[in-house]
Structure 1
Amino acid sequence: MTTPKQTPDNFSQAYNTAMGQLMDAGVNTLKSSEMLNAISDTDVQIATTPSDVVFQIDKVTVSRYRPLAKPLKGAPPVLIAYGLFGRQTMIDLQQDRSLVRNLLEAGIDVHVLDWGNPTRADQFTTIEDMIDIYLRDCVEYLVDYNDGKPITMFGICEGGTLSTCLAALAPDLFKGLALAITPIDFKGDPENFWRGEGFLNQWLSNMSKEEIDNMIDVHGNMPGEMSGVMFSALTPMNSMTKYNLGLQRLQGDRDATLNFLRMEKWIADRPDHPGAAAKQWFNDFYRENKLVKGEFSVDGQAVNLSHIDCPVMNIYALQDHIVPISCTKPLSNYISPKKYTEIGFPGGHVGVFVSRKAQGVVAGGLIDWIKKTQV
């Protein structure tokens, strides 16, 4: 095979194109650098919607957001529970990309659970403790607040899995269960994972129980920094280039730069995860898939997903590389079809909450479901 001869005209054209692209990149880099220098830490605020702590048990708190609209008549209060591999501040990243504000503006009474900052004193806290002590107490507080009537639960990621377990163990506490990007079947369908999907599932499946236990025992708890490294490793190219190529593409746009920095602020604020619960999360759920096998129990009571008796809304992301679709959709196998609804969002794991499209598709879909099934 012969290489086409490079003519002077072709060379000049390629050279000029390359130099033009290089100059544009340099200009954009300067613009982005100048914009970063002009932004201070006070400009990068997240989770600014006003709220008040109304309940606390140990480090775990429940906060009620202050209303922004006339109450939606007949709607139960909603309790939002995130997991411990990130912060619940994701649901209120900024004013125009806030699930919380969308719900409040629809007249919904919104509460959020904050797991706090676990320390070495919490290293023996188990998933059973998180479900049957902390989450249950928070839900029961809200049931009392709602004159003894069941409430609506909205669980996200790990918080969704814990909420699902409690809804199966204590169905009388729940008027409805909404979930987002929530793993249920931790094996999924690995034969049909798309490229980039399910790395976390496969990685943990190939580790032994001893390897996972040793990894966590070194620290007592699972450090938030370790969680951050683990998730960054799932998308290595993006993680390596976002601070140079990614920022350069923003071309010094202030709003885009602030969006980027707010997201980075959320990513950097990962709490430690109680050690005993982290071991169970990786071993019992990821490695052994006990939840869908019916082998996971809380205080001697098996978690039977078919005992969930309330309407269920399941929101998943079609390009989710952390929680594959085949890990979340199997929940439908345990819920009556008349009570089960799902939304497949065309985006990634975090885009469910922070993208502009999500404000209409996800928040709007959740509000419609609340009006149809909870009022």
Structure 2
Amino acid sequence: MTAATRRHPGKTPRESLPRLGPRPLPLHLAMACTTWTSSSAGLTLLKNGWPLSNPNNPASGNPENGQALGIETLLSQIEGLEGDDFNKALTQEVSARLRALLDGIQSYRSHPYRRDLEDPPSAWQEGSARLLDFGLAKHRSKRPGAKSKPAVLVVPSLINRSYVLDLSEKRSLCRWLAGQGFRPFLMDWGAPNGTEQRFGLSDYTCGYLERALDHVLSVTAGRPPVLLGYCMGGLLTLALAQRRAEDVSGLALLATPWDFHAGENALPDGQLAAVSSSCLPLASRLGYLPVDTLQSLFALLDPMAVTRKFVGFSKLDPDSQSAREFVAVEDWINDGVPLAAPVAGECLEGWYRRNLTARGEWEIDGEKVRPEHLDLPCLAIVPAQDRIVPPGSALALCKALRSVELLRPRSGHVGMVVGQQAREDTWQPLAAWLSALAT
């Protein structure tokens, strides 16, 4: 594990440390090249009567149902074109797209932006995990006569760094909540090291997370905090809330999956089986699932997403605020952490393949996690354009909860917390819900 892997969030990356993203670069370049350069081969196949051009092939469409014959329509459009001119135009377009992709990657890697935000004080630490106390930060608002607002224990995913929730001065959910009078505590998991590589989800939940909750209770005179879980962190806070319901005043779930077989982007069982059979032996051998392997798995959800992003970035002015924000998010995405081998098994095999959560069979420390038994005020924020956690997966959790308020921002998985509309669409409604708990 490199020093960069162990780096805590909030530390400014050294100027000499090159950017690694988009990770894994060979995979993204290979997918882009294969997709675009296959156009010439595809054109030849079409002109030579590729089977899909057969009107009797179901893939060509059903004219009786009013569906256009896509292949025949395409053939009719290119039929009158001169072969050499069209092939030249096609080659030029492929070359232009590849140049734009490479320009975007180079522009990103050479961009001068570096995150230099100082972390708030660490209130508790054990192993690689620490608890950042934004209530002790200088920006916390304490308005005279204002009613005391609850502490919020914020729990991110184990896969990505916690600082997406404290990305920059203007894009920090935790600092903004502190400015509204709340006292956020951000759980920073760090990277699994030593014995932590043998941790499962129960170790993280019943160990580090419960002891972090105990610390929050100790500094708030026993006043129960609200739990706020983001993505995978939402599942951990759900389990914690069930175990420690008397010590929790509410549960907010941001883009939290539940039914891993729901949604258009759900991977078929055969693909999930192939992922498990290839990744889990690797994790067992190393003690962890490497970051680049995790990034490759995310690429399965939308193979050309990274390519589209960097082609778009190539068109931005590097000095613009939009470019800086793009680089900030990409630095976070590519600054991931490996996943402890037992956790990788529970996630890939237990969640994604066997769907134990939606089946009511997922267990933490031998106890089934059953959201329908939870008697707490709950808020679920389900972004409409999420590709990482399909809305159908998160909405299944809403249906399982006994009582929940639902919010549907018009953003994606990451944009919901750091995007341009995050404050209006996510932060402010979240703060309003938290404030209502204090009344």
Q: Aligned partners of 2:78 and 2:190: how far apart in 1?
A: 63
SS in 2 for 1:97: coil
Q: Aligned partners of 1:169 and 1:284: how far apart in 2?
A: 20
Question: Could you state the TM-score of these two structures normalised by the residue count of structure 2?
Answer: 0.71
One of 104, 115, 135 as aligned partner of 1:45:
115
Matched, 1:278 2:344: yes
C-alpha spacing 1:291/1:211, structure 2 compared with 1 (3 Å):
same
C-alpha spacing 1:37/1:115, structure 2 compared with 1 (3 Å):
closer
Residue type of the alignment partner of 1:131:
T
Matched, 1:167 2:241: yes
Counterpart for residue 257 of structure 1 = 323
Counterpart for residue 108 of structure 1 = 182
- Residue-by-residue CA offset, 1:271-298 (whole Å, 9 max, x unaligned): 1111111111111222222223232223
Counterpart for residue 15 of structure 2 = none
C-alpha spacing 1:246/1:295, structure 2 compared with 1 (3 Å):
same
One of 126, 130, 133 as aligned partner of 2:207:
133
> CA shift at 1:49, angstroms?
5.7
- Residue-by-residue CA offset, 1:218-250 (whole Å, 9 max, x unaligned): 32201122212222343322323544x223220
SS in 2 for 1:79: strand
Q: Aligned partners of 1:356 and 1:208: how far apart in 2?
A: 35
2:161–2:190 CA contact under 8 A, matched in 1? no
Structure 1: 5+ residue runs without aligned partners?
Answer: none
1:75–1:374 CA contact under 8 A, matched in 2? yes
> CA shift at 1:98, angstroms?
2.0
Q: Aligned partners of 2:189 and 2:228: how far apart in 1?
A: 15
1:150–1:174 CA contact under 8 A, matched in 2? yes
Higher relative contact order (CA 8 A, sep 6+): 1
Matched, 1:60 2:146: no
The more displaced of 296-305 and 169-178 is 296-305
Residue type of the alignment partner of 2:132:
S
2:318–2:324 CA contact under 8 A, matched in 1? no
> CA shift at 1:39, angstroms?
4.5
One of 169, 183, 199 as aligned partner of 1:95:
169
Identify, as 1 or 2, the structure richer in strand: 1
SS in 1 for 2:133: strand
- Residue-by-residue CA offset, 1:73-95 (whole Å, 9 max, x unaligned): 23221111101111111112222
Q: Aligned partners of 1:230 and 1:354: how far apart in 2?
A: 23
Q: Aligned partners of 1:138 and 1:37: how far apart in 2?
A: 37
> CA shift at 1:127, angstroms?
0.8
Residue type of the alignment partner of 2:423:
Q
> CA shift at 1:264, angstroms?
1.5
Structure 2: 5+ residue runs without aligned partners?
Answer: 1-75
1:110-259 superposed matches below 5 A: 110-188=184-262, 190=263, 193=264, 197-199=265-267, 205-207=272-274, 210-243=277-310, 245-259=311-325
> CA shift at 1:252, angstroms?
3.7
C-alpha spacing 1:293/1:258, structure 2 compared with 1 (3 Å):
same
SS in 1 for 2:304: helix
Report the RMSD for the aligned CA atoms in angstroms. 3.3
C-alpha spacing 1:334/1:253, structure 2 compared with 1 (3 Å):
same
1:204–1:286 CA contact under 8 A, matched in 2? no
Question: Could you state the TM-score of these two structures normalised by the residue count of structure 1?
Answer: 0.83
Counterpart for residue 370 of structure 2 = 304
SS in 2 for 1:177: strand
C-alpha spacing 1:365/1:49, structure 2 compared with 1 (3 Å):
farther
Counterpart for residue 345 of structure 1 = 409
Identity of matched residues, %? 24
